[in-house]
């Protein structure tokens, strides 16, 4: 990819950037060195840096620039087309464009990895209770404490105690109701039994 207005130092810098991104994000995921080899092959061969021949029908020999989609002339808008990351349709990218595209790809791969890491750190895939529990555990670990391992056992024990208390209350209510019925039965028809 060396050639044109691109310095060899810039090519090496972009190559290192792309190789670092490949080694961090693609190689561990696939377990293969294929992507690294492909990047090295493309950079060594200078693939895509020599301009392809353009069909004669699209080449303009006049000195006037053809109006582009904006209606302005090709170079009259002050933008250096050689430094844009995308080549015009039907043309191979210049060395500067190829390097810009490679640099942008490396930034994209790194940013996607950072985004995934942030999503994992915020526990987006978990329900609210599980997320809260993990955040409390992480905070406790940070300050040197550890939560009890059997938090599920504690919760089930608390639920069992609540159920037993509810059963005792129901039994007490049932006994009180039975005692009232006995009193009512004794008071209504038991007047004779009280006189005996």
Report the number of distinct structural domains present in the chain: 2
Statement to judge: residues 100 and 142 lie in one domain: yes
Residue 92 sits at φ, ψ, to 5 deg, of -75, 150
HSE toward the beta carbon, residue 15, CA cutoff 13 A: 20
HSE toward the beta carbon, residue 65, CA cutoff 13 A: 12
Residue 108 sits at φ, ψ, to 5 deg, of -60, -45
**26-42 tens-digit pLDDT:** 888 888 899 999 999 99
Distance, CA of 45 to chain centre: 35
Domain that holds residue 139: 1-49+86-147
**45-82 tens-digit pLDDT:** 874 444 433 333 333 333 444 444 444 444 555 656 55
The end-to-end CA distance of the chain, in Å, is 120
Statement to judge: residues 161 and 95 lie in one domain: no
Statement to judge: residues 117 and 138 lie in one domain: yes
Statement to judge: residues 29 and 91 lie in one domain: yes
pTM score of the predicted model: 0.47
Compute the average pLDDT of residues 137-149: 81
HSE toward the beta carbon, residue 68, CA cutoff 13 A: 11
The answer to the question of residue 177 being in a domain is: yes
Statement to judge: residues 94 and 143 lie in one domain: yes
Statement to judge: residues 140 and 90 lie in one domain: yes
The answer to the question of residue 172 being in a domain is: yes
The answer to the question of residue 196 being in a domain is: no
Statement to judge: residues 141 and 176 lie in one domain: no
Statement to judge: residues 107 and 18 lie in one domain: yes
Among residues 115, 117, 106, 119, the alpha carbon closest in space to that of 26 is found at 106
């Amino acid at each position: 990819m060396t050639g044109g207005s691109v310095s060899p130092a810039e090519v090496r810098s972009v190559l290192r950037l792309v190789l670092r991104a490949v080694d961090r994000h693609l190689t561990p995921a696939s377990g293969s060195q294929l992507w690294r080899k492909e990047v090295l092959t493309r950079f060594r061969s200078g693939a895509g840096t020599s301009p392809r021949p353009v069909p004669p029908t699209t080449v303009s020999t006049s000195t006037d620039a053809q109006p582009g989609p904006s209606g302005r002339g090709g170079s009259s808008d002050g933008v250096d087309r050689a430094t844009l990351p995308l080549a015009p349709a039907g043309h191979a990218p210049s060395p500067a464009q190829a390097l810009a595209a490679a640099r942008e790809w490396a930034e994209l791969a790194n940013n996607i990895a950072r985004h995934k890491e942030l999503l994992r750190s915020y526990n987006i895939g978990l329900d609210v209770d599980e997320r809260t529990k993990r955040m409390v555990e992480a905070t406790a670990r940070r300050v040197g404490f550890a939560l009890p391992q059997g938090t599920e056992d504690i919760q089930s024990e608390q639920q069992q105690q609540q159920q037993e208390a509810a059963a005792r209350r129901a039994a007490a209510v049932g006994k009180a109701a039975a005692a009232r019925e006995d009193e009512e039965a004794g008071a209504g028809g038991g007047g004779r039994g009280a006189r005996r």
